[in-house]
Structure 1
Amino acid sequence: MNRLDVVTFGEAMTLFIAEKAGPLHKIESFTRELAGAETNVAIGLARLGFKSGWASKVGSDAFGKFIMNRLARENVNVEHVFTDERFPTGFQIKSKVVTGDPEVQYFRKGSAASFMGAKDFHEEYFSGARHLHMTGIPLAISEHTRDFAQTALSYMKELGRTVSFDPNLRPTLWSSKQEMIEVINQFAMKADYFLPGISEGEILTGYKSPRDIASFYLDKGVELVVIKLGEEGAYYKNSSEEGLVNPYEVKEVVDTVGAGDGFAVGVISGLLENLQIKESVLRGNAIGSMAVQFPGDNDGYPNRDQLMEFMKLPIQGVN
């Protein structure tokens, strides 16, 4: 019997968001939040009633304690999160913007999470989950975290569990663009569900159209490809069907960070509930649309009642 619906892993950081717009070096007051692509997904799924777990390492410092307390409050299982006395917990600072993407600065080199390697992998914890969600970030952080990712992916595939993979490209973390493309694609081709953004798909495959990008991965054995198209919604394709799912109308975009992770929450939750692919992608669009209306990375992620209410709102191009 599975103890968890979904398990994920990676690095979480304490996030300081500027309270006023302007260059970061001129800001005096910040609000503290939690940041991390994988923790975003774990939190989003937990709010929808799924049993989610997150594996990682944190330092024995205030940032590490904050992360653990916040995840516990969100009902995310942290039994596979270990405290490393030798290394600190990473953190980041983010600007407040009126329009566009915020400026983000990271302080994560040599963090406790970057030293989580294959020897830290606990089979019993992962075998208790029916689905694994991964991002490309741990593949870039260090050789340790890449080894952990390879171990987790191989183990869950051996058990016959489904795997979703969001590339979450972070070029500055890689030694070269070519290495990033090669390594990300190695992992993507072993996933069941691949969830890139359109610009990520172009970088990883060289193709520009969503259909060609999707076909590239389907030909390599991926079961389903869902491509985020931003304001145009999302495109999906598997071996038997494809489609474009229009986005929800958003009156004001406050912050785009975390929208992609929210989209993953919607798609994964729908597939785990055996919804049709189109319905799952529509749910992804809904949570992504909710996320961009809040400043924190996961502030806008809904509980189930809030999601159902939001999904009654108009969809662009649909009367």
Structure 2
Amino acid sequence: MSEFITIGEPLVVLASENQDISLEAAERFSKFLAGAELNVAIGMSRLGHKGIYISKVGDDSFGNFIIESVKKAEIETTYLTKDKNYSTGFYLKQKVSDGDPTVDYYRKNSAAANLSSSELETIDLSEIKIAHLSGIFPALSKTSLKTFQTFNQKLNEANILTIFDPNLRPVLWDNQEKMIRTINDLAKRSQIILPGINEGEILTGSSEPEKIADFYLKQSPLTKTVVVKLGAEGAFAKLKSGESFTLSGFKVTKVIDTVGAGDGFAVGLESALLEGKTLKEAVKRACAVGALAVQSSGDSEGYPTKEELEAFYKEK
């Protein structure tokens, strides 16, 4: 039975094979599966945790590719449906030797953006232990925001551990003020919050990890833990009790692609918590999976199996 669940927009990424060339000039592309929440579901599956992925795709070649890929990843697709009235989102991604790549999204009014609350009525949450939520899906449309809120409420009513990653995508919002207000309001409904240090500064006005953590711990009685992602520096965690700690990141010889690293962090944390690990052990694994993620092209290609994770630990 599935013990993990998430909701989001699956995407196809056409990644340039021409290094350090603009997307306009690039001529060769490779096709990969993408979408932040789906990345997490794939990573969880690789570490042996069965999960449910909720979304909708178009009745098109990209949609068919996504459904088949999700099945191959051994993720439950019962609630991954097709809709002939809308298309599947995709994006183009630059290949770079250093720094973050340029991306061009083609996702407006996608099938996932039109996933309605009524389509969640039959979902069985009886075996679910952890839910991964992201700030991307509710940013897609008014419909997806309402669907997200309905789903979050169902999770809370079922006493399921909810983990929220702000995953800011300013391009999806009308303006920054609305993005900040909505994301922080959504964060109130989860027990664990996973802001990146740069996201935290935008959302709380502070670049200090502890102040970012305090903001979320104080704004909601439901929030018990905040883990601030510090990139290559590791992570800072603070609990409602006041206990806090910082863990250093793992050294990486060469960064190939930073996209998907934050999702990999969530994979490490959530898989460890499902296995009964302590928060410190979970944050350590989160940093490890994030480090592995940046050493591969593609959004989720670098996520490890259990054996690969153990081998990585031994190397370090």
Normalised TM-score (structure 2): 0.97
Match of 1:292 in 2: 294
In structure 2, list runs of 5 or more residues that go unmatched.
none
Local SS of the residue matching 1:33: strand
In the alignment of these two chains, the number of paired residues is 312
**Which deviations, in whole Å up to 9, do the C-alpha atoms of 1:73-127 show, x marking residues without a partner?**
1101111011001111111010100100001000001211110011111343344
- Counterpart-to-counterpart distance in 2, 1:57 and 1:128: 22
- Counterpart-to-counterpart distance in 1, 2:144 and 2:124: 17
- Which of 4, 7, 10 is matched with 1:6 structurally? 4
| Contact persistence 2:131–2:163 (CA under 8 A) | yes
- Which of 240, 248, 262 is matched with 2:264 structurally? 262
**Paired residues for 1:127-142 under 5 Å:** 127-142=126-141
Match of 1:281 in 2: 283
Higher mean C-alpha deviation, range 211-220 or range 36-45: 211-220
The aligned amino acid for 2:3 is D
How far the C-alpha of 1:245 sits from its partner, in A, is: 0.6
Match of 1:15 in 2: 13
| Contact persistence 2:125–2:158 (CA under 8 A) | no
In structure 1, list runs of 5 or more residues that go unmatched.
315-319
Q: CA RMSD in A?
A: 1.0
Matched, 1:118 2:117: yes
The aligned amino acid for 2:2 is L
Match of 1:75 in 2: 74
- Counterpart-to-counterpart distance in 2, 1:109 and 1:35: 16
How far the C-alpha of 1:312 sits from its partner, in A, is: 2.1
Match of 2:34 in 1: 35
**Which deviations, in whole Å up to 9, do the C-alpha atoms of 1:110-161 show, x marking residues without a partner?**
2111100111113433444222110001111001111111011001101111
| Contact persistence 1:19–1:29 (CA under 8 A) | yes
The aligned amino acid for 2:10 is A
Percent of aligned pairs sharing the same letter? 43
- Counterpart-to-counterpart distance in 2, 1:283 and 1:260: 13
- Counterpart-to-counterpart distance in 2, 1:107 and 1:282: 35
The aligned amino acid for 1:261 is D
**Which deviations, in whole Å up to 9, do the C-alpha atoms of 1:251-279 show, x marking residues without a partner?**
00000000000000001111111211111
Matched, 1:179 2:181: no
Match of 1:102 in 2: 101
How far the C-alpha of 1:218 sits from its partner, in A, is: 1.1
Matched, 1:57 2:56: yes
- Counterpart-to-counterpart distance in 2, 1:74 and 1:154: 28
**Which deviations, in whole Å up to 9, do the C-alpha atoms of 1:267-303 show, x marking residues without a partner?**
1111111211111001000000000001100000001
- Counterpart-to-counterpart distance in 2, 1:304 and 1:71: 19
